[in-house]
Structure 1
Amino acid sequence: GSGNRIENMSGNIADFDTSGTTYASGGIIPSTPVNNSLDQDGEVTFLFSEDHAGVFGAQKIFQSFGDAIKCAAGEGTPTPNQRPGGNDTLIELSNLQANLSGGYANNKVLAWEPRKVRILATSGVSKTYRFYIQSTFALTADEIKLKALYHASGANTEWTLIESDETITVRDDLDDWDQYLEVTINPARTGWIMFEIELYLYSVGGRVYIDPLVVIS
């Protein structure tokens, strides 16, 4: 099933075979488990590991086509240094798999759990929401996307999807925070805007880093 939580588990926890979404707490998932859904074309698997490998505050999302990992800015190569004014922890998308590019069109790696990053916005007030990015490989606007859901109409309750259109070039060094993804939104209703960042391109040994501190202007 999906949406299950596991904790205080004993026995073989080095291998996992799940579908849908599973939450693991208490640091029970080891540092490098075997993900049996890895690179399975069309598979949709998310294992959220809290206090990963028994390290308090460590977070990792195991997915079918790559992982999203909480890392400390400035911890050393290849992790970027902290962006001026930016967050002191980053999101790393890595362990990318070949079917991310070569399989189903909707194969992807998520930076965070869907609909969990949200900002309250006021109707009729246009703002731009920007997330800064570093990447070890080049990405077109179709290969990495910032997506946002919001209410564009005051006449109904339907959600409207908007996507970024920026391309990302290869970073120059660990301090290169010139690249970003952004969307501009003028909601018709006061309410939540929900954000996601999705990666669709495989690169051997490739890594994408996201500063999760959104810049609003």
Structure 2
Amino acid sequence: MEHDLSLWGLFAQSSLTVKLVMIALVVASVWAWAIIVRKLLRYRAAKAEAARFDEKFWSGEPLDELYETIGPNPGTGPERVFSAGMTEWRRSHRESGGLIPGATARIDRSMDVAIAKEAEDLEKGLPFLATVGSTAPFIGLFGTVWGIMNAFTEIAAQQNTNLAVVAPGIAEALFATALGLLAAIPAVIFYNKLTSDAGRITAGMEGFADEFGTLLSREVDA
């Protein structure tokens, strides 16, 4: 019996269990790459948005005018953090013009909540990359072990240890491990990179919130 040793042939000739393992790994890999590409584009846009907002914020434009320009539906993360602080700042004023006690703490909390929401959005999907990176090799190994078991069963049935009999079954089994590594390695690499990028973006918003909070506290003291 001739064996097709191409990648498709190895898949087609493998057992149902190994086929399911291979399909699961391919689906996980495609899904992981979709998350990676989407996050790379999202983080690139987030860095550009932060740079543009910093330029506006430090341009000398009055904060009330900047707040009015942004409007009730801020479109970017830095704008949402700024809007949260300004909204609480305005709510903390009495009709007489004075400030309600504890305004600074409430403003800081409002911005912290906005930052937490942005961080959650930035990190969405990253746990899946971590899961693929940690489990894909073991899933592939399971497929390999199952395939080797079938290979030895075939050897026993034919009572022949000729390389032509052994090699196809071993190749099918190792193909599952290769797919597991193919899914896991990029997932681990980009999980580490994207986690670091998300942390830097979040840290930038936290730094802005601290600076903005300092400016508002000076207004309170004045």
Q: So what's the TM-score if we normalise by structure 2?
A: 0.20
* Structure 1 or 2: more helix by fraction: 2
Q: So what's the TM-score if we normalise by structure 1?
A: 0.20
* Structure 1 or 2: more strand by fraction: 1
- Structure possessing the higher radius of gyration over alpha carbons: 2
Q: Taking CA–CA contacts closer than 8 Å with sequence separation of 6 or more, which of the two structures ends up with the larger relative contact order?
A: 2
